[in-house]
């Protein structure tokens, strides 16, 4: 099971409150009009498809926000693989609160588990190559911390969190700065003036551009939409530099069918936007039990 990082539930509390306000509005009239205020219930979260679970703590926080009397008892931990029919958690307490929080909790949990499941599929496909699977910034607006947490739960690794924690010089930055060399040197000068120290990554599309990135000692180099043979040549060139060489990342239209071929070119990292922008929610269900 992957080493899953901790999730700051206090930081995401506003997300939970926004999601509940969106769903509940001024009241869950179906539940309020049909379920007794004193009714108690016990329910289970059940997997209906195989996958990797992420977001149990978020689901628990949703129910707690609805009614602190609800008890959420997780039977597994984030990063666990589940089979159809397996119980993820038991929820008990006021029936009204469980029913009101059900959809919001499932929305978070199903999306996050879908991301973890897809990530695990890519990690499994690249197993044994030494290549790590990365996410991107192609996340649902407002949900980045949850999306990236789910990637980690699936065994992947996080790229930069945002525009603030790493310099990534892409095609348009390089064009605007009149080339890779000027872009990197200008970024380093600005970094020094700001008293900061972050990695600088450069996107390249050709072997010539790779040489430019090497010349200015970029920390990372992203090989953008290169074919496998060109990536193999690039990997050999970079690895020949020895200690202190830049990390090499492959990016661009990588699929489950192609990720192993890409990994076997010798790149250190493969970044995949589909992990978060094209996720299929894991099929989960909440069922009341007698």
Q: Which residues are catalytic?
A: 103, 138, 170, 203, 224
Pairing of β 87-94 and β 81-82: unpaired
The closest of 273, 288, 236 to 44, measured between CA atoms, is 288
* Cα–Cα distance measured from residue 32 to residue 20, given in angstroms and rounded to the nearest whole number: 16
CA torsion through residues 93, 96, 99, 104, sign: negative
Residues 6+ apart with CB under 8 A from 9: 57, 58, 61
Query: What are phi and psi for residue 228, nearest 5 degrees?
Result: -60, -40
Query: What are phi and psi for residue 221, nearest 5 degrees?
Result: -130, 130
Helices (H), 94-249: 95-125, 144-153, 171-176, 180-194, 207-215, 228-239
Query: What are phi and psi for residue 164, nearest 5 degrees?
Result: -100, -10
Asked whether 120 and 150 are in contact (CB, 8 A), the reply is: no
Q: Reading across the β-sheet that carries 269-271, which strands appear in turn?
A: 132-134, 269-271, 247-251, 220-224, 200-204, 167-169
Instruction: Categorise residue 225: left if φ over 0, alpha if ψ from -120 to 50, beta otherwise.
Output: left
The closest of 108, 105, 32, 95 to 69, measured between CA atoms, is 95
């Amino acid at each position: 099971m992957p080493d899953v990082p901790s999730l700051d539930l206090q930081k995401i509390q506003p997300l939970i409150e926004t999601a509940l306000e969106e769903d509940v509005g001024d009241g869950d009239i179906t539940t309020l009009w049909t379920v007794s205020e004193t009714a108690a219930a016990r329910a289970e979260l059940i997997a209906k498809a195989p996958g990797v679970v992420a977001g149990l703590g978020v689901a628990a926080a949703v129910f707690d926000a609805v009614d602190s009397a609800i008890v959420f008892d997780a039977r597994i931990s984030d990063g666990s693989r589940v089979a159809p029919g397996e119980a993820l958690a038991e929820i008990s307490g006021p029936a009204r609160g469980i029913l009101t929080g059900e959809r919001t909790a499932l929305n978070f949990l199903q999306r996050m588990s879908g991301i973890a499941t897809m990530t695990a599929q890519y990690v499994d496909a690249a197993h044994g190559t030494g290549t790590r699977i990365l996410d991107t910034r192609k996340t649902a607006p407002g949900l980045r911390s949850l999306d990236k947490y789910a990637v980690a739960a699936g065994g992947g690794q996080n790229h930069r969190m945002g525009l603030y924690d790493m310099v990534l010089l892409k095609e348009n930055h390089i064009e605007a700065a009149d080339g890779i060399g000027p872009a990197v040197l200008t970024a380093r000068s600005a970094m020094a003036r700001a008293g900061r120290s972050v990695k600088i990554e450069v996107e390249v599309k050709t072997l010539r551009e790779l040489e430019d990135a090497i010349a200015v000692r970029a920390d990372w180099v992203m090989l953008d939409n290169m074919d496998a043979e060109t990536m193999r040549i690039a990997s050999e060139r970079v690895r020949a530099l020895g200690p202190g060489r830049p990390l090499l990342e492959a990016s661009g239209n990588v699929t489950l069918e192609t990720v192993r071929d890409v990994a076997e070119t010798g790149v250190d990292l493969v970044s995949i936007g589909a992990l978060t922008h094209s996720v299929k929610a894991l099929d989960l269900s909440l069922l009341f039990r007698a």
